[in-house]
A and B are shown apart, each in its own frame.
Chain A
C-alpha cells in the first residue's frame, strides 16, 4: 500500500484537505476539527506542515486500543466500528494527533480506500500518495 505524506514547502495552509476529509467522514459536514489529519503552523506563520497518519509500523493507536478494534489491512490501520467503544484512548495515544472521535466512535485515516480525498482537494501538490 502506498504512503501518504505532506510537504511543508508546498503547503499554503488553506485547509481544503481538512474540509474534504471532514466531508468524507461525516457525509455532509464541514469543520477542520472533524478531519483525520491536521495542519500545524510553525515558526510564527513561516510555514504550515500537513500532518497525516503515518500508518506506523509500531502503531500506538492499535497497541493501546483496549477493545482490539484497530487492525492492519495491507499496511493500513483500520478501525473496526463494531468493536470500537469510543473510549478515546487511541486519540490520546496518537503522537501525531490525527485520530478524532465522531458520533461516539474513533475515526482515523484509511486512505479513503486508496484514493484519498485530501490529495485530490490540494491545489498546491502538498500532499502525495507514493
Chain B
C-alpha cells in the first residue's frame, strides 16, 4: 500500500496537478469562510471547469474545495459565531467564547493544528484501512444507524452549559423542526405551511439564524463591541506548553472518532464532531470549563470533523457510493469524465485513485501552511468596529441563505430562527442541542421505521445483530454513568454552579 501511495504522490507532485490541488483547497478555504455559501455552492460553480480537465485533476480540485471549506468553516465560527455546517456548530461552542476573550488567534491556531492532525490521521486510515473500513460500513444497516443515533443523542444530552433537562428539551425541539417536510417513509406532508418547506427546513437557515442572526440582534445596539482590543503578537497565537500538552489526548481521541464515523455513508462529520465534544466533556476532570472557551473542547471536534472529511471518501472511492451531497457532486464530475465510479476504480484507475488520496495528504499540508500566516489577518478582522461589521454579515447571511435554494422562504425562516435563538438565549436555553436534534432526528426516524418495515416489527433485531447490540450496550453504559454521577452529585453538598 505504501508503494501505491508513493505512486499517488508522484501523480500529485506534477506541477500542474499540484497547482489545481492548491487552487482547490484555497478556494475551498475562502468560500468556507463566507457564511451560508458552502462547499456545495462552490463545487457546483466550478463543475463546468472540470469539463475541460481530466478526471484526476478535476477530482483533486473538487475534493480540495471540500476539505478546504471545512478549515474555512471553523474560521467564521470562531470569529463571528457563524457555523456554515453542523460540524462547525460545535466549533462555535468553545471557539467563539475564546475569541470574545481576546484569544481568537490562539483559537484559530489550535483549530488549524487539530484540523491538520485530524486530516492526516484520516488520510492514514484511508491508505491503510480503506477496505476493512468499507466492510464495516456495509454492515451498518438500518438497525445499526438507529442505535447509533440514539447513542449520539444520549451522549449529546451532556452538551450545553445549562441544565440537562433544558438541553434535552432543546434536542426535542430540534427533532420537531427536523420533522417539517415530506415524511421519508410515506411522503406525507407534515407541518408544511408552504410548498417551499416540503423538503424540510434548510440546515443553513437554522444554523445561521440560531447562531449568527441572534448574536447580531444581541450586539448590534451595544456600543462597546464584544471583541476587546488586542495586541497580536505571535506569542498570543501559540498555546503555552501546558496548554499544548493538554491538547494531545483530545486530538488523538477526536481523530479516532472522526475517522470512524466519517466512513459511514450519510452520517459523517456532524455526528463525529458532536460525539467527540460530548466525549471530551464526559471524561474531562473539569467539565465546568466547557462552553466558556476551553481548548480541548475546541481541538477534539475540530480534529474529528477533518478526519471525517477524509475518511468520508472511503465509500466514495471504494464503492462509488457518495456519502453525502458533496460527494455526489464529486462523483458526478467523474461520470462526466467518462469514468464510472465503483469497486473497480482502484484497479482500473490506480493513478486516479491513489493520486486523489495522496492529494489529501498534500492538501492538508498546504492548508496548514497557508492558514498559520493568515491567522494574523483574520484576527485583524476583529479590529473592525462591530458597528461596521454586522451590516455586512447580515447581507452575507441573506445572500448565502437565498442562493442556497433560491428561496425567499429560507431567508424569512432564517430571521425567525434568529429571533428564536435570541429569545432562547435570554431564557437560558442553548442553541447547540437544537442543531443536534435537527440533524439526528430525521436519521433516527427514518432508520427506526425502516427497521420496523424490514424486519416486520421485531424489536429483538436490535439485540441479535452484533454491531447493533454493541451500540445498545454502549447506550446502556452511558445511562448508568449519567444516573450514577447524578446520584453522587446529589449526595455532595450542592454549591457548584452549572
Q: Do A and B come from one complex?
A: no
